[in-house]
């Protein structure tokens, strides 16, 4: 599928050369768009979004095989290249890059770490009357990106045989891509799909999964309590920790359950968040990332310092519950991660 998408009032998108991936195998290609919005110098500043993006990039490369040159595009608000700053226009362009030239067997990954919000639903598709939004670095001047837009740009064009995974680490992000089905945990502890929208907005044949940091009605933690030192989004941390502990071949139900357990343990039943060190595999991954960063021209000490300042700003997990949504009712207990 080789299309150019455009938003109202804009010319069809042509990716800058800096986004153009190197040639990849004809089948089973991998592409990822990673976005970190820290809003530096503003009253909305966050501490860990950049660190979230670095951790997810490492995880994708070293755990899921996103190793082809040019297969990952990173947008951050600390970038010097104007094409790679996490502005609204660049996020839209990055999504268009991600969705171009889809082929059966492709695996696409979208990650956003930053602020999320809600606004009144104007299309009538939301059961709660609220649209979910993500906030680009320049949202004060350029505006937010609404869940209807994310659905139109990433879900509806998803071609047969292509799988999209999105991890949105932001407040109110449960249904941030307007996928129709959300997994709800029953009193027996098992997950079952629940229709969460009045209008089913599916794909063009592909399969789309979205991990949200919390339910639409909740806020997401930005905390250093999970590592004991470094700042990160709680959902990004719990996602990576689940992968490190239980592997890349676990089921979707397993991943979601482990994310929930991690957040629940950190919340400590309302007793606050306290953890002296990165647990298990995540600690070793952070160490490897520190070494990798140290090899990029900085000292090892500086790299460890960067890893040790990963997370976002302070925030209580409270009742934060991560969620998974999908365009179809896949068997969460049989289907294994296809990232």
Please state, rounded to an integer, the average pLDDT across all residues of the chain: 81
Beta pairing class for 232-233 and 222-223: antiparallel
Task: Determine which one of 37, 171, 214, 325 is catalytic.
Answer: 171
Distance (Å, whole) CA 200 – CA 96: 22
pLDDT higher at 211 or 319: 211
108: nearest Cα among 69, 161, 63, 147: 161
Query: Could you tell me if 24 and 71 are in contact, meaning their C-beta atoms sit under 8 angstroms apart?
Result: yes
pLDDT higher at 226 or 310: 226
Dihedral, CA of residue 199, residue 1, residue 63 and residue 82, to nearest 10: -90
Q: 25-29, 118-122, 151-155, 213-217: lowest mean pLDDT where?
A: 25-29
112 token code pair: 């956003």
Q: Which domains occur in the chain, in start order?
A: 27-219+313-326 (3.40.50.12660)
Note the pLDDT of residue 264: 87
Q: What percent of the chain has pLDDT over 90?
A: 62
Cα–Cα distances in Å, from 16 out to 46, 125, 161?
28, 35, 27
Residue found by looking up tokens 């999105």 in the block: 166
- CA contacts within 13 A on the Cβ side of 269: 0
CA-based max dimension of the chain: 54
pLDDT higher at 275 or 269: 269
pLDDT tops 70 at residue 93: yes
pLDDT-based confidence at residue 114 (cuts at 50, 70, 90): very high
pLDDT higher at 278 or 33: 33
- List 72's β-bridge partners, or say none: 32
- List 116's β-bridge partners, or say none: 134
pLDDT higher at 312 or 201: 201
Dihedral, CA of residue 200, residue 206, residue 212 and residue 217, to nearest 10: 0
pLDDT tops 70 at residue 296: no
pLDDT tops 70 at residue 116: yes
pLDDT-based confidence at residue 282 (cuts at 50, 70, 90): very low
* Span 236-255, average pLDDT: 96
pLDDT tops 60 at residue 13: no
Contacting residues for 204 by C-beta, under 8 A, at least 6 apart: 1, 156, 157, 158, 159, 160
259: nearest Cα among 328, 212, 219: 212
Q: What percent of the chain has pLDDT over 70?
A: 76
Distance (Å, whole) CA 227 – CA 310: 9
Note the pLDDT of residue 141: 96
- List 120's β-bridge partners, or say none: 130
Residue 305: other Cβ atoms inside 10 A: 15
pLDDT tops 90 at residue 245: yes
Q: Where are the alpha helices (DSSP H) in the chain?
A: 49-63, 88-99, 139-142, 147-150, 234-246, 252-267, 280-294, 300-307
53 token code pair: 């993006």
Residue count (the chain) = 339
pLDDT tops 70 at residue 22: no
Distance (Å, whole) CA 220 – CA 231: 13
pLDDT-based confidence at residue 9 (cuts at 50, 70, 90): very low
pLDDT tops 90 at residue 225: no
Q: Is 62 a catalytic residue?
A: no
Query: Could you tell me if 173 and 167 are in contact, meaning their C-beta atoms sit under 8 angstroms apart?
Result: no
Cα–Cα distances in Å, from 99 out to 157, 323, 330?
8, 24, 22
Distance (Å, whole) CA 241 – CA 247: 10
Task: Determine which one of 37, 59, 111, 115 is catalytic.
Answer: 115
């Amino acid at each position: 599928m080789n299309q150019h998408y455009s938003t109202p009032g804009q010319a069809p998108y042509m990716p800058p050369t800096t986004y153009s991936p190197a040639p990849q195998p004809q089948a089973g290609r991998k592409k990822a768009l990673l976005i970190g919005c820290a809003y530096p110098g503003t009253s909305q500043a966050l501490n860990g979004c950049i660190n979230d993006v670095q951790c997810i990039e490492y995880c994708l490369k070293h755990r899921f095989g996103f190793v082809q040159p040019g297969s990952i595009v990173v947008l951050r608000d600390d970038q010097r290249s104007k094409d790679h700053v996490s502005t609204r226009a660049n996020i839209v362009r990055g999504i268009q890059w991600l969705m171009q030239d889809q082929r059966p067997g492709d695996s696409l990954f979208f990650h956003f770490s930053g602020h999320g919000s809600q606004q009144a639903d104007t299309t009538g598709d939301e059961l709660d009357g609220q649209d979910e939004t993500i906030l680009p670095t320049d949202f004060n001047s350029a505006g937010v990106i609404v869940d209807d837009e994310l659905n139109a740009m990433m879900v509806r064009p998803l071609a047969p045989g292509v799988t999209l995974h999105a991890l949105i680490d932001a407040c109110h992000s449960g249904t941030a891509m307007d996928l129709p089905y959300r997994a709800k945990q029953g009193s027996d502890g098992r997950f079952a799909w629940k229709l969460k929208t009045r209008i089913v907005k599916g794909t063009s044949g592909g399969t789309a999964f979205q991990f949200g940091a919390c339910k639409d009605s909740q806020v997401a933690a930005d905390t250093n309590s999970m590592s004991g030192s470094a700042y990160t989004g709680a959902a990004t941390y719990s996602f990576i920790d689940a992968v490190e502990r239980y592997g890349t071949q676990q089921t979707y139900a397993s991943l979601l359950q482990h994310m929930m357990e991690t957040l629940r343990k950190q919340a400590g039943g309302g007793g606050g968040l306290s953890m002296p060190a990165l647990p298990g595999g995540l600690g070793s991954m952070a160490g490897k990332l520190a070494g990798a960063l140290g090899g990029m021209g900085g000292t090892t000490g500086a790299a460890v310092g960067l890893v040790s300042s990963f997370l976002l700003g302070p925030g209580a997990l409270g009742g934060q519950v991560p969620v998974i949504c999908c365009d179809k009712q896949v068997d969460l207990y049989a289907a294994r991660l296809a990232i």
